[in-house]
Amino acid sequence: MIEQLGDSWNYIIVIILMMTGLFIVIARTNLIKKLIGLSIFQTSVFIFYISLGKVAGGTAPILDGNPGTLYSNPLPHVLILTAIVVGVATTALGLALILRINEAFGSIEEDEIIAAKLNQSLARPKRPLDKHSD
Amino acid sequence: MGSVILTNLPALLVVVPLLLAPISALFTFASLGWAIAVVGTGASLIFALLLQSLTETGVRISYHLGNWEPPWGIEFVVDSASSLTLVVMSGLGFLATLAARQLVTNEIAEKDIGKFYAAWLLVSGGLFGLVMTADAFNLFVFLEISALASVILIGMGAGTDRRALVAGYHYLVIGAVGATFYVIGVGFIYAMTGSLNMADIASRIPDASGSAAIYVGFGFMVAGILVKAAIFPVHIWLPAAYSYAPSAVSTLLASIATKAALYVLARILFTVFSGMPDVVTIALSNVIVPLAIGGVFVGTIMAIYEADIKKLFAHSSVAQIGYIALGLGLGTPASVSAAFIHIGNHALIKGGIFMAIGGFVAALGARASLDSLIGIGRRLPLTATAFLICGLSLAGLPLTAGFISKLYLVRAILETESYVILSLVLISSALSVVYLWKIMEVMWMQPVPARSPKLVENPAIYLPIWIVALGNIWFGIDASWLVSASRMAAQMLFGVSLGGGT
């Protein structure tokens, strides 16, 4: 089975991870789990790019002066370095928002938050105005 | 000195706001943060106007960041299409900053205001970069800079309404999924063409077209941008985000954020994928046009049933974005230039409306629901009259900017002889009068409630609103500048698509 997939088995893993992540984002109501799903989804794209950069038989792209050497493509790795930074920033900001949501609503379950919104939609957050966003 | 600035204008437009942002974050004095934001957005307006004057004759400025030649290095391209978008965005961004000073005082704690303007400048700089960049991956980076900063701005609405946090979280997650879709698409395109430079991709696609990977990449890229542009049915983050954000933020986002994404959509459809016109045509007529019309109706009908004023106009934004997307989707030069006209006019209309709502909120000290606005026309006559002008412009009354938009859109639809679309647009326009009438009736026809306190109008709030309102009238009477600039913009998009002449 594995041999039949040949060179493409890492793309199969990418698809599995991507669908897992996207499913968690859509189906989970827990805000932190949603964020974990988002991270898995983004990670699958990182693996996709890194797989693209591999040239069959290529070595690490460090010039050795030999014109016959076959190198892998380093560009996708560099792109993904940027995308990882973006992903970390997204996760950090998401977690910070979840902290504040937990303080304001007393829950990180989406359905409980919706219920709380309906009950007292204009209630102010528990923390006073001058203390937020630290 | 002058020539250094002129040759580096595209870089300065992004670098100045991005560098001023951390400076603003360091200070806790509200007025200093605001002054830095005014300098940043004012400078970008000047840069954008200079770029517009350099490119209005059809010149295409290509700026190589770090002197790396494209297609290897990152390239910024400014032509008549992007410079028009930049002028609209920086102009409205500047006016929104002027109005922001008084609007934020009630909604954001004094010590956070420096950080607020830092995020504000990051949004502006990120969106300018988004419009200029000619590198498909760099576009993703700017997309995320502006998206993360807008999430911060939206979340800052928590000072008055905790639902802002949830709205910000949803925008973060939905926006990140959209941006990741875009990156997947870029990956496929890079795998097939070996390039990230948009012009280079466009020239290589004819060799690779017919390969399913290109079509998959195209689909992922367009789907990702649709999320960012808030086109139905992936607009669901927009109403909550606009309505729970601080008033100043609603103004900024409504007038510039989705406009940048719509411009990017136009460029992807007509420039990057110009090498496979049949697939793009199928996507336009079978996906973009039906979604645009769906958005027009869903947005309008939701607005009719909404009682919260900010949310009402957020739904109306979904409908107006639908009109712009319809112009792009019809895919003729006339309809695309109508889309550009509406990008400019809708920024003016919604900028004015959200500023005026901010003015009501600041004066009333409460969320603006229909009930709280009873008789506001007599209590805050200056703000309410400017609001009325922008509202009439939204409805498309002659002598206002909105009329020009509708006129050119209807003309473009007539040219394509799609009478079903024409009748749907006219019906939806008539429906938009329903929700506008609902508000105007409450504001102007109903008596002022007894024992309501006297309200004072603040010139720092109503002056920027009036500038925008007069802009609505100005562009309704003499639209020649906007119309000819939009025509050039559409020609530029299609000209490049025909194989690169200027």
Task: Enumerate domains of chain A plus CATH numbers.
Answer: 2-55+69-131 (1.10.287.3510)
Q: Tokens 């795998």 appear where? A: B191
Tens of pLDDT, residues B57-113:
878 888 898 888 888 889 999 988 889 999 999 999 999 999 888 888 878 888 888
pLDDT at position A127 over 50 = no
CB contact under 8 A, B163 and A121: yes
Q: What is the 3-state secondary structure of B155-213?
A: HHHHHCCCHHHHHHHHHHHHHHHHHHHHHHHHHHHHHHHCCCEHHHHHHHHHHHCCCHH
- Rounded average pLDDT over B271-296: 90
CB atoms within 10 A of CB B500: 13
Using pLDDT thresholds of 50, 70 and 90, give the confidence band for residue B1: low
> To the nearest whole percent, how much of chain B has pLDDT over 90?
48
Which positions 362-381 of B are in contact with A (Cβ < 8 Å)?
Answer: 367
- Residue B308 at interface with chain A, using a CB cutoff of 8 Å: no
CB contact under 8 A, B177 and A98: no
CB contact under 8 A, A132 and B109: yes
Rounded Cα gap, residues B101 and B33, in angstroms: 10
pLDDT number for residue B318 = 93
Pick B203 or B1 by higher pLDDT: B203
Tens of pLDDT, residues B218-274:
999 999 999 999 998 889 999 999 989 998 999 999 988 989 999 999 999 998 988
CB contact under 8 A, B172 and A90: yes
Q: Using a CB-CB distance cutoff of 8 angstroms, which residues of chain B are in contact with residue A91?
A: none
Kindly list the distances between the CA atom of residue B385 and the CA atoms of B307, B372, B443, in Å, as whole numbers in the listed order. Answer: 21, 17, 10
Name the least confident of B43-52, B234-243, B371-380.
B371-380
Look up residue A35 and give its two tokens.
């964020």
- Rounded average pLDDT over B496-502: 42
Using an 8 Å Cβ cutoff, are B249 and B157 in contact? yes
pLDDT number for residue B499 = 40
pLDDT at position B459 over 50 = yes
A-to-B residue pairs, Cβ atoms closer than 8 angstroms: 93
pLDDT number for residue B15 = 92
Using pLDDT thresholds of 50, 70 and 90, give the confidence band for residue A130: very low
pLDDT number for residue B150 = 94
pLDDT number for residue B497 = 46
Interface probe, candidates A86, A114, A124, chain B, greatest B C-beta count within 10 A: A86
Pick B240 or A57 by higher pLDDT: B240
Residue A87 Cα, gap to closest chain B Cα (Å): 9
pTM for this structure?
0.91
Going B131 to B132 to B134 to B137, the CA torsion angle's sign is negative
* Mean pLDDT for chain A overall: 83
Using pLDDT thresholds of 50, 70 and 90, give the confidence band for residue B135: very high
Q: Using a CB-CB distance cutoff of 8 angstroms, which residues of chain A are in contact with residue B180?
A: 41-42, 45
pLDDT number for residue B327 = 93
Rounded Cα gap, residues A36 and A91, in angstroms: 8
Task: Sketch the domain layout of chain B as residue ranges.
Answer: 2-497
Nearest chain B Cα to A121, which residue?
Answer: B163
* Mean pLDDT for chain B overall: 89
φ and ψ of B76, to 5 deg = -105, 135
Which positions 75-94 of A are in contact with B (Cβ < 8 Å)?
Answer: 76, 79, 82-83, 86, 89-90, 93-94
- Residue B143 at interface with chain A, using a CB cutoff of 8 Å: no
pLDDT number for residue A1 = 52
